[in-house]
Structures are given as C-alpha cells and as structure tokens.
Structure 1
C-alpha cells in the first residue's frame, strides 16, 4: 500500500482541488459518484476475466485511499500549519490571509498534477465455479479516468461454497456461534488469537491458507455451539473423515490431551479415535488413529496406533 496517502484533512483538500476550484466545470461528478464509478470499474475488470461457468460474488469494498504526487507536499504543509495555528496558536486575520494567498499560489501551480492522483480500494470478492469459490481480497489501484492500473492480491484461497457464511462473519468479525452481529468476548478472543498466524503468514497464498483453516474451525465451533477445545477438535476430525468416506461409524474417542513445551506453555493437542467405514469398493474397515494438532487446531500428524507410523 502506498504510504503517501491523504489523512482526513488531505481528503478534504482533494475535494477542494478536484471539485471546488473555479477552473473545474460545475457539472463535475461529486466525490461519492466518482468513487462509485471506480467501484464499477473494478467490478467490470473482474467480470471481463471470467470464463464460462464462473460467477462473480461481491463481498464488499473497503475504504478508499488516495495517493498524491510529490508536488502536493508543500501544499499539505501549508494546510497543516493553518490547521495547527487555528486550533492552538490563535490564527490572526492577517496571518490567515497570508496563508490563504500562499495556498492559492500553490494550487494554481499544481492543479495540472491532479491527473497523477491514484486511488487504492480494497475489494473482497469470490469467483464461484460449481461447488467451490475462490475467496479473494485484492487492492485495486486506479487512475483519475477510473481505469484499473494495478491489482495487488492480499490473500486468496479456494474452498467449498458452504463456507460463505463463515467468510463474511470472519471478515466482519461478527458472531459465528449465535444469531447476532456482535461477537461475544469469547469470540473476540478467538479472533485476536487467530490473528497471530495470519499476521505471520507472509505471502498471499499462505494468508489464504490460514483464513481457510480459521473458517473450518469456525464452522466446527458453530456446529457444537461452543469454542470448547475438545468439542471443536473432535468436530474438526469428524468433518475431515466424513468428507472422504461413507458409512462412517464412530467406535471410541479418547479425551483430548494437551502437550506443553519445556517452559510449560501449551503447544498442542492429541486425541485417539477409532472408527469404521466403507470404502468405494464396498469393503468395510476399522481404523484407530492418533491425531496431533498445534495450538491453532492445525493437524500436524496422523499416527496409526497399532503401528505408530505416520500416514501417507
């Protein structure tokens, strides 16, 4: 993201430069209309790239940020001086006229540079194809002609479209256990806790992997109506097993045990589970496995209890 962006004071300045000067036509669109045009341009650019069988889903837009050319830095400084003196120093009439003259002189010199403004808008969207959706967060950079010049992918991942509800709840930080938009304290703690692996993920693909896992955890918790670790872990395992076998029948579950590091800090969980199922050829099997997870409920290994070896 370009760090050279307008603060709220600067946004007001942009409005003055683009829409408030005498040299600008009075029929110019207002800022809200221009912003809507940019959003429409983003949507159109995505839809232009769709192939047969794909459908665009709009999950929402973030705030718009406006970057400016270096020529506006002196003007920003003058506005900052005027604001500070007005608020804290007692701006005299003569001093105000002096600053206004300096501002007007600079405006007349740099108006032509307004074409160099860039607009950055984050957009959450999905590309649906059959039962899956490519969930995407991207920052679009547009010019003053409402043309998309660059797209920076923040994260993306592909998953089943049944996770749409969890995705919108996660992005809005809403409650996912109850019929309420406001999260409980426990859910806020959950969001804060899982922000750590997301912030440390690095690449857009890795960030997408982290969010995909978070959505699976949220869905498991929603089924159990609880964030109790044991209930969530067992539901996650159950979801994974039943996604790939039929006629699943649980036999036994152990308790969920915790593991700690050398400083006695929690560093993971493990649980033993035995179940029976029927494979695609109609053959029945019974398996007993130990599932090991890290503190974020990510499976780190699956061990065969009878052989104590990792499954391929």
Structure 2
C-alpha cells in the first residue's frame, strides 16, 4: 500500500531548504495550547491535543488576523490542498504544496509521515495566498476519530455476493455501529465497528426495519474474511498527495476505502463540516469485496 513521507516533521518543523515552511522552532507567543482542546500534552516539540472538547467545536482555534491566520491544511476537492481558516479556505502557493511529497513508505503504518493532516498551522498570507506555514500544535488521530466518529452509526447499502465476486452496486440494507472509543494497536489508531444486522434483523436510526444479511442466503456479502467486525482507519495521502482516505478494514489484508468521511482538523474545529455520505470501494479489484454506500448518523 502506498504511504507518504511528508517534509513537515514535528520537532524540527520544516527544513530550512524547503520554500514556504518556517524553520524557526520558537513557540508562537500568541498561541495558548491549553485553550485548543480538552486535553493537551506539552512534553513534545509541539503541544499535542489528545482529546477534544465534549461539545462542538471540539477543537478551538485562537483568534488571529487575516494576514496570519491559524488553520489546517486539507485536501481540495478540485485537487491539491487548501488552507482552512475561520474566514474561509485560502489557496496555497505551489512552493508550500510541493513540500508535501508522497513517496512509498517502508513503514506499513498509517502513522508514517503525513504530518500535515495532524497539524495546526499559523500561516503567512500575501495577496490572498498562503506563502508560509508554521506548525504550532499537533492533533492526535485518536482525538480526531474520537470526536468526529466514535459512538456513531453508518447506515446504507452493501453490495451482494454474486458467485465469483461482488456486484458493484450496493442494494442490501446495512447498519454499522461504531465503537464508543478508539483503540491503538501496533502504532495504528483504529475505530472498531459492528455490522448489527449481520445475522439478525435490526432497525435504522428512524426505526425502519433492517432484514438480516444472512437472509440473503447465497447473496450474503458477509462470508469468509468478510465478517460482522470491521475497523476504520485514517490514511492521509494514501496514493498521492492529499488523497486522504478513510479505510474500512475487514482484515489486515482486505479493506475498502473512500475519501468523503476522512476526518480532518478543519472538521474538528468546524471550519468545514464533515461529509455525511461515504462511498466505500474495495482495494485492488473492486469486485473482490463489497461496495458500500453509507451515511453517517
């Protein structure tokens, strides 16, 4: 699986040779990390938010000027990245975006590289464009997933098994309940989930009856390694820069992916609204596993 190594590294911030990144490691005198979120650790090179506030916005950025705003670097739906701030999204100079350099990682872990997706920055803005980014704090993946996804449900459809693979069009009703707490395993942050109508009938959030997937008999998508237990994992820049994917893993070697529900710092700070719809397509050959069309509740 492709992973990325990102030029922005906590502790040294950005290498001085990289255009658009501040090489000054001095803390921002106007930034109070204690006000950022409910739980902040300050023992590292950057303060780290490890738990969001109980009520939205779960992450609270300090006030700042239009010329030097706080915010987050996130994927642009039209390609590349934009800088999300309380005043709206700002374009980012190519010299800054080029410091996000996707490469194949030797470390098969979502934690390798991709620091931009876990950093709060203070930007320098010139003529309406971000020309420099200085990291001021880190937000743990656990805090992001706990605040935005834990304890919620995904409802929609899952595709049928058709004998030699899976249909690409989801038609069978499905509900997945997400665990109340994220877990850590082998350096990875995971959010477990359970297909609640795998073997017995259930209901949606609004009370609509859900038949058991097992009732689909030979068309039941849950078979072999595709079981009622799943895990969600966050992968920034999975295949290329800013290809930020949320993965639904059936096993360590079998998973689906989709970009819409990827939780960001901008979502946590309510600079953006987390997408409710999630289209999940199986890695590798799309017909080798179920396709899902889900909505977050």
TM-score bracket, normalised by the shorter chain, equals under 0.3
Report the TM-score when normalising by structure 2. Answer: 0.23
Decide which structure has greater strand share: 2
Report the TM-score when normalising by structure 1. Answer: 0.23
